[in-house]
Structure 1
Amino acid sequence: MNTQAKHPVKTSVSSEEWQLRQDLAACYNLVAHYGWDDLIFTHISARISGPEHHFLINPYGMMFDEITASSLVKVDLEGNKVLDTGYDINPAGFTIHSAIHEAREDAKVVLHLHTNAGVAVSAQKEGLLAISQQSLFPLSGLSYHEYEGVALREDEKARLQHDLGETDFMILRNHGLLTCAESVADAFLNMYILQRACEIQLLAQSGGNELTPIPAGIVDGIQASAKKVTHNAGGGLAWPGLLRKLDRMGAPYKE
């Protein structure tokens, strides 16, 4: 039974958590808008400030365009619900996200998707290629994790943490894409760029001609270039515009 109507979430959490809930719900709504969702089977999580390592994740069974700030589920690192909103969570999503939140203090937001382009590139032996400007940003900090089946085993968490290391972009082999960041806006921008890089790679490969690789060395300075382009604001530069887009669409993220 959904107890949300009896216990409004907004009045039960801090203003900081409510803002985080709205941003995370907006991210889910945007993923649906761009067609990156996989019915109910992928996940975006955000860690709540504080020593408890509590984080928010999607309610299992809700489509991404339905997710609201109130419906997000707050759990601890053991998967126990901290605030009951009447929804359960996907155990595979919990395994992946709890592993990263546990290991990386700076990975406050973790975004994991099964997009067609992302899974297709994850199945290619050479992975992401340096053939577009978009590819350079993830390649400046990209890791890979080998496929071990549906992510339900506790022992996979240590290998996932080791493979991610200090990177903010990961390709899960034969599985999909993952990005992390200190904010929802940055995690979304990271995924937008990684997804676009995968789409461009598949289009370039489909042309049948030999591909032109970007000269070695250019990737080394790409992070400094990115900061200059975004005025050091990262995803925060585009995020207000994305929220205005959702508002025009009537998306439910604020509820």
Structure 2
Amino acid sequence: MVTKNQIKLVVSLQQKKYRSQHGLFVVEGAKTVNEILEAGLKPYKLFVDEPNKAENFNGVEVVSKSELKQMSSLSNPNGVLGVFYIPNVKKTENTDWLVALDAVRDPGNLGTIIRLCDWFGIKHLICSLDTVDCYNPKVLQATMGSIGRVNVVYMDLLDYLTKTSLPVFGTFMDGDAVYQVKMPKTGIMVMGNEANGISNEITDIVSQKITIPQFGPETTESLNVATATAILLNEVRRS
């Protein structure tokens, strides 16, 4: 039987400070929980609201629908909730492309970018310290389990990019058209903040400014950052 303290702990994990304090995060939905288990992340507790759902998981606890609703961050809980240990961050490697995010704040955008990294085989995603937390429940919903396969690292982005030996690509409205740029075998693709783009400090150390050409009427200010990431990673892999 789930205790009040356990419910209180799970609810607290909706806030970043408690995720950091306990080293735990929450995911919901059978598919996402399964994907994270398959990726090798260690579960702390698994909860389901019906006994028949327990057959798909080891070490699961059956709770009532009202108890699961108390723990859930969703208005309509989907019956499976997992609490996982936050994995240790791995050292980034310079043998392939990396994506770097400069103050991306929208959880849906970050979750989609993590999923895109997984799709295009980008193993390491570097985030500035003011980028939204990758274990935010809304981010996790958007990753669809890819959080278990992409190494997300938070660090001083300016310091990292200043010291790297890799070429640094950045997206700008006045950059060279990406379709005419020959992409190297390794590099870092920097994506900027939703409202302000790449910061001035990062702009100063970008070695190649690129843009995605607009073919329609010039009525749209810019592409959504996740959409732009998809197009650019496709070009990276196509090259």
Q: TM-score, normalised by structure 2?
A: 0.28
Structure having the higher Rg: 2
Structure with more strand by fraction: 2
Q: TM-score, normalised by structure 1?
A: 0.27
